[in-house]
Amino acid sequence: MKVNNHLAVGLVLLLSLFLFSSCLILKPIELIGIDSVTVERIHDGKVDLNVGLKINNPNKNDIAVKGYSITVFYDDIRLGTMANESEFALIPASTSTYIVPVQIDTEELLKNKKKLLGSLLTTGNTFRFQGNIKVGTFLMSKDIVIDHTADVELFRSLMKELGLDSFRSKKS
């Protein structure tokens, strides 16, 4: 009887995994763009920003972001890294904006000050986000590679907040 019980439990588990396996397949999430960039604070040679990332989650199930590490570039100048190990949930089957912190080391910026100033004074610049996001469900997890370029127009709110918007050249 014990063998039959173990066999029955095993078959039920196997059948359950087979039936629900389609629920466990993770479709890749997608970084759509950047909705906002705001300054949180300036301290100890660092600038803390909040970046509103617009993320599409095509999955019908709850998906958790289990961590991310994304390097932010402005015209190939490394600005900083978004990194976090705390978990947060993505809304199923939706495109939503999630606020993530970014810390910029001003020492890194000062190394490239001439190039950065030249970029800030011209138009047509871009942000680039490179790294990975670890997502998962209770049974599975997956690293998603991010390589996204965004127009710098979204950066103007940050420039205005820092009082640097009057230095940008304007095209007529």
Answer positive or negative: Cα dihedral of 110, 104, 142, 31. Answer: negative
User: Of 41, 62, 38, nearest to 156 (Cα)?
Assistant: 38
Residue 151 has pLDDT above 50, yes or no: yes
Give me the domains of the chain, ranges plus CATH numbers: 26-167 (2.60.40.10)
Q: What is the pLDDT of residue 131?
A: 92
- pLDDT higher at 39 or 18: 39
Q: What is the pLDDT of residue 168?
A: 46
Helix/strand/coil for 69: strand
- pLDDT tens track for 42-75: 899 888 888 888 889 998 888 888 988 989 888 8
Residue 118 has pLDDT above 60, yes or no: yes
Q: Write down the residue that tokens 């904006």 correspond to.
A: 97
Specify whether the CB–CB gap between 131 and 140 falls below 8 A. no
Residues 159, 160, 162, 163: what is their CA dihedral angle, to the nearest 10 degrees?
A: 120
